[in-house]
């Protein structure tokens, strides 16, 4: 009974991002150093549960939004805010956005296009489904500071470009994990030619934005920002295994995707938490941890 109680407590603390007081104090001290050590921060992301209240600061540090020298933080963030303000003002002057009707994620996408000189005449930003928007939507659910969210969106989108380059390796790992951990499901996917049709690129390159609940997804993004892209394959393995009884009834990709949509893990926090916790446990026991 005592063991079960400890296990329950450990899972609960990890879900809320506070596994231990000692680990939290260690992170706080690292973030307060005059010269922030990115290597140690990445190790923390991969080895421990990131406290929710420190996540924004940690991500901004690792994504180089905040300077390595903490004494320069105020100056750097003033410059970041100025860029954000100038881009927003320019879009308003050009009448390309309407803050009263357009989602903030789409406005940030327009800002990014303007900043990267990718904004073209005639582009309907409101109807765009770019990956940048999906990333921004997730971040807007997690944090409040829109200046930091815009810069996080840019930096994480850059990471997803690296993930896209690693797709062949991630695909091989995904197939291997499914075959090893759920042979019945793997055989069904192969037999019905579903394995090659899985939307891995969409799921992996958006880091499951819109697929899993944001509060649970943040724990996956902790690992990704810490440099461990492989966690994406472990999440897929556990997600599909969780729904394997329903998936095995599907004979084509349309039915498969409808099955995933019906589960709607994004709006089910407890389900998403379970999938992510199981994925991290599996990843921690692998050679990639």
One domain for residues 67 and 152: yes
Per the structure, the count of domains in the chain is: 3
Q: What is the pLDDT of residue 267?
A: 86
One domain for residues 78 and 31: no
- Mapping DSSP to helix (H, G, I), strand (E, B) and coil, where does residue 69 land? strand
Q: Please report where in the chains the tokens 């026991």 appear, as a residue.
A: 285
| Beta bridge partners of residue 69, listed in sequence order | 35
- Which stretches in the chain have pLDDT values below 70? 1-21
What's the CATH number where 9 sits? 1.10.10
Answer positive or negative: Cα dihedral of 43, 139, 274, 203: negative
One domain for residues 93 and 145: yes
Q: What is the pLDDT of residue 19?
A: 52
Q: What is the pLDDT of residue 8?
A: 45
One domain for residues 176 and 226: yes
Q: What is the pLDDT of residue 120?
A: 87
Q: What is the pLDDT of residue 20?
A: 59
One domain for residues 183 and 276: yes
Q: Contact, 162 vs 230, CB < 8 A?
A: no
One domain for residues 136 and 174: no
Has residue 201 been placed in a domain?
yes
One domain for residues 135 and 181: no
CB atoms inside a 10 Å sphere around CB 97: 21
pTM of the model: 0.91
Q: What is the pLDDT of residue 7?
A: 44
End residue of a domain, out of 111, 134, 156: 156
Has residue 58 been placed in a domain?
no
Has residue 289 been placed in a domain?
no
Query: Can you tell me the distance from the alpha carbon of 129 to that of 105, in angstroms, rounded to the nearest whole number?
Result: 10
Contacts of 43 (CB under 8 A, 6+ apart): 226
What's the CATH number where 185 sits? 1.10.472.80
Has residue 57 been placed in a domain?
no
Q: Contact, 115 vs 121, CB < 8 A?
A: no
One domain for residues 240 and 263: yes
Has residue 161 been placed in a domain?
no
Range of the domain at 93: 63-156
One domain for residues 150 and 193: no
Has residue 92 been placed in a domain?
yes
Has residue 72 been placed in a domain?
yes
First to last CA, the chain: 30
């Amino acid at each position: 009974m005592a063991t079960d109680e400890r296990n329950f407590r450990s899972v609960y603390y990890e879900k809320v991002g506070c596994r231990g007081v000692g680990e939290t104090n260690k992170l706080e001290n690292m973030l307060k150093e005059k010269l922030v050590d990115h290597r140690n921060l990445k190790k923390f992301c991969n080895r421990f549960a990131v406290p929710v209240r420190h996540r924004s600061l940690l991500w901004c540090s690792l994504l180089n939004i905040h300077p390595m020298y903490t004494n320069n933080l105020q100056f750097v963030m003033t410059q970041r805010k100025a860029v954000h303000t100038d881009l927003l003002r320019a879009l308003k002057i050009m009448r390309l956005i309407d803050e009263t009707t357009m989602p903030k994620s789409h406005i940030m996408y327009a800002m990014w296009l303007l900043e990267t000189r990718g904004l073209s005449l005639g582009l309907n930003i409101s109807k765009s489904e770019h990956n940048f928007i999906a990333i921004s939507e997730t971040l807007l659910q997690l944090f409040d500071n829109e200046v930091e969210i815009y810069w996080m969106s840019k930096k994480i989108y850059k990471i997803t470009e690296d993930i896209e380059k690693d797709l062949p390796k991630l695909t091989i790992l995904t197939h291997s994990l499914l075959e090893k951990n759920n042979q019945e499901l793997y055989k069904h996917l192969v037999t019905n030619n579903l394995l090659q049709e899985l939307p891995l690129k969409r799921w992996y390159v958006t880091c499951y934005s819109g697929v899993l609940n944001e509060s649970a997804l943040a724990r996956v993004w902790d690992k990704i920002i810490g440099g461990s892209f492989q966690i994406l394959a472990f999440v897929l393995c556990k997600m599909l295994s969780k729904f394997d009884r329903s998936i095995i009834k599907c004979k084509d990709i349309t039915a498969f995707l409808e099955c995933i949509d019906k589960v709607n893990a994004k709006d089910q926090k407890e389900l998403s938490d379970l999938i992510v916790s199981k994925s991290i446990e599996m990843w921690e026991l692998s050679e990639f941890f």
